[in-house]
Amino acid sequence: MDIYTDVLVVGCGVSGMYSALNIDKSFRITIISKSKTEECNTYLAQGGISCARGIDDIDLFVKDTMKAGKNKNNIEAVKVLAEESIENIHRLMKFGMDFDYKDGELDYTREGAHSINRIVHSTDETGKRVFETLLDQVKKRDNITIYEDTTLVDILKFKGECCGGIVKRDNMVDFIHAKYVILASGGIGGLFSNSTNRRTITGDGIAIAIKNNIEVENLEYVQFHPTALYEEDNTAGRKFLISESLRGEGAKLFNINKQRFVNELLPRDVVAASIWDEEKKTDSRFVYLDASFMESEFIINRFPGIYKECKKRGIDVTNEPIPVTPVQHYFMGGIKVDLNSKTSMDNLYACGEVSCTGVHGANRLASNSLLEGLVFSRRAALDINKFISSKDIADVNRNITIKEADELIESNLKCVLSEFKKVLGEKKHELIND
Ligand code: SIN
């Protein structure tokens, strides 16, 4: 089937939905989601969203982001992120987002490598609330259509420019013709045996970019979150995250011999490395994160998600330490984009985890991911708004059978796996088998 739309958005997380909501309402937008809409990583984000505390905090926020990123960041992108943080948080609040307040003011929390408390949050379920807020807005727009269970197989091209996407949906192949395509398909966590990400997030956007000679960069920049819940039963499935904000609120790390070994609020890569080290020294597969000395009521109200999920697994966070270990969490590399999220191919934008603005450098500062999604997906939308009225849809045909679509999907997975095996070298054992 041929479908005609003005903008095709691939992905239903914060970047996909927020870009759609910032495109002029007079244009038709089609959002595709590989599985059900809520099965995106945005939904799982716990800690919150970083936000400059005011104009006076911009320089320090930039410094913190650069320091965590080992100064490998694109400083221009970092400045944009910090400078546009406040306005985008306000926009999100106008859409109905409910952040936590304390004494009549936004309750800013702290996470690793932030010099001050600058993270707005909604208990420990910030991502879920962001997702619900944006989805509510999307549903109110009659110019936006969502297709669930729809996989991007490849992009459509005409004379080297992007003009839509080939998708697999309901066991059929559809050709979605569009003036612009925004890739917001997320990262690569599903390629790793142990990750906090949804298993379906397998770097499809990266594979399609590589196969179409679209520039990608920093593929070796993979982040491990220090504290995922350790479970003896290691059956496939994502690992449950124990938010860094629990450490931000005072929780402490101990080895299995009940000894402290690291400052919990150092950058993520440092804390993760120190946990691996400690596990080796003590011949253990985990360390402990202890919040049991905090007021039970505080834990239950501030971290209801963590409290419930741990309880389900027989751990009472108010009474006992949580076994934790580092697992893959985030991808700082991706499809190379400029400050308006434009890729090296005309008419193709990328934002969120699939993209690389360079904003995170070699190690993302905690709670900068939802913020990046907001800031740079809005920039993509505003750039598209400038040119969309004067553009036509290039109508190309490409005949693909369902069997060929399945083969392309399989080769996309093989392509990213082999790419990451190359760049990650000896860490490749962390990857799933292809
Ligand atoms: C967390 O809550 O620890 C994760 C937040 C993030 O990935 O920035």
pLDDT digits (tens, 9 = 90+) for 34-72: 999 999 999 999 999 999 999 999 999 999 999 999 999
- DSSP three-state, residue 150: strand
Candidate of 43, 44, 46, 51 to mutate for ligand 1, largest count of ligand atoms within 8 Å of Cβ: 46
243 lines ligand 1 (CB under 6 A): yes
- With contact defined as beta carbons under 8 Å apart, do 418 and 410 qualify? no
Residue 369 Cα, ligand 1 centroid: separation in angstroms?
8
Quick one: tokens of 330?
Answer: 């985030």
- With contact defined as beta carbons under 8 Å apart, do 57 and 116 qualify? yes
Mean pLDDT of 288-312: 97
Reported confidence tier of residue 258, pLDDT bands at 50, 70, 90:
very high
Mean pLDDT of 308-316: 96
Residue 127 Cα, ligand 1 centroid: separation in angstroms?
10
Mean pLDDT of 349-360: 98
Q: What is the pLDDT of residue 235?
A: 65
Q: Is the dihedral of CA 282, 261, 126, 305 positive or negative?
A: positive
Closest-CA residue to 327 (of 266, 299, 285, 283):
285
Residue 282 Cα, ligand 1 centroid: separation in angstroms?
27
Q: What is the pLDDT of residue 426?
A: 66
Q: What H or E segment, with its residue span, contains residue 222?
A: strand 222-229
> Residue 355 half-sphere exposure, CB side, CA atoms within 13 Å?
31
Candidate of 41, 50, 225 to mutate for ligand 1, largest count of ligand atoms within 8 Å of Cβ: 225
Residue 81 Cα, ligand 1 centroid: separation in angstroms?
17
Distance CA 348, CA 337 (A): 10
For residue 429, is pLDDT > 70? no
Mean pLDDT of 236-254: 93
Atom of ligand 1 nearest to the CA of 242: 3
Write down the catalytic residue from 110, 238, 247, 268: 268
Q: What is the pLDDT of residue 430?
A: 84
Ligand 1 atom 8: the closest Cα is on which residue? 367
pLDDT digits (tens, 9 = 90+) for 165-212: 999 999 999 999 999 999 999 999 999 999 999 999 999 999 999 999
Distance CA 88, CA 122 (A): 16
Candidate of 65, 245, 309, 371 to mutate for ligand 1, largest count of ligand atoms within 8 Å of Cβ: 245
369 lines ligand 1 (CB under 6 A): yes
Q: What is the pLDDT of residue 59?
A: 98
Atom of ligand 1 nearest to the CA of 47: 2
Residue 242 Cα, ligand 1 centroid: separation in angstroms?
9
74 lines ligand 1 (CB under 6 A): no
Residue 211 Cα, ligand 1 centroid: separation in angstroms?
31
46 lines ligand 1 (CB under 6 A): yes
244 lines ligand 1 (CB under 6 A): yes
Q: What is the pLDDT of residue 425?
A: 81
363 lines ligand 1 (CB under 6 A): no
pLDDT digits (tens, 9 = 90+) for 105-136: 999 999 999 999 999 999 999 999 999 999 99
Q: What is the pLDDT of residue 432?
A: 86
pLDDT digits (tens, 9 = 90+) for 355-368: 999 999 999 999 99
Mean pLDDT of 69-94: 98
Reported confidence tier of residue 374, pLDDT bands at 50, 70, 90:
very high
334 lines ligand 1 (CB under 6 A): no
Weakest-pLDDT range from 58-62, 236-240, 324-328 = 236-240
For residue 427, is pLDDT > 70? no
Distance CA 373, CA 369 (A): 6
Residue 34 Cα, ligand 1 centroid: separation in angstroms?
23
278 lines ligand 1 (CB under 6 A): no
Q: What H or E segment, with its residue span, contains residue 99?
A: none
- With contact defined as beta carbons under 8 Å apart, do 316 and 150 qualify? no
328 lines ligand 1 (CB under 6 A): no
pLDDT digits (tens, 9 = 90+) for 379-424: 999 999 999 999 999 988 888 999 999 999 999 999 999 999 999 8
What whole-number percentage of the chain has pLDDT above 70?
Answer: 98
Weakest-pLDDT range from 144-153, 343-352, 425-434 = 425-434
Q: What is the pLDDT of residue 397?
A: 82
Closest-CA residue to 185 (of 406, 353, 338):
353
Candidate of 81, 111, 327, 330 to mutate for ligand 1, largest count of ligand atoms within 8 Å of Cβ: 111
124 lines ligand 1 (CB under 6 A): no
* Mean pLDDT, all residues of the chain: 96
367 lines ligand 1 (CB under 6 A): yes
Distance CA 263, CA 139 (A): 44
Residue 339 burial (CB count, 10 A): 17
Q: What is the pLDDT of residue 117?
A: 97
Residue 46 Cα, ligand 1 centroid: separation in angstroms?
6
Reported confidence tier of residue 300, pLDDT bands at 50, 70, 90:
very high
Q: What is the pLDDT of residue 34?
A: 97
260 has catalytic annotation: no
Reported confidence tier of residue 233, pLDDT bands at 50, 70, 90:
confident
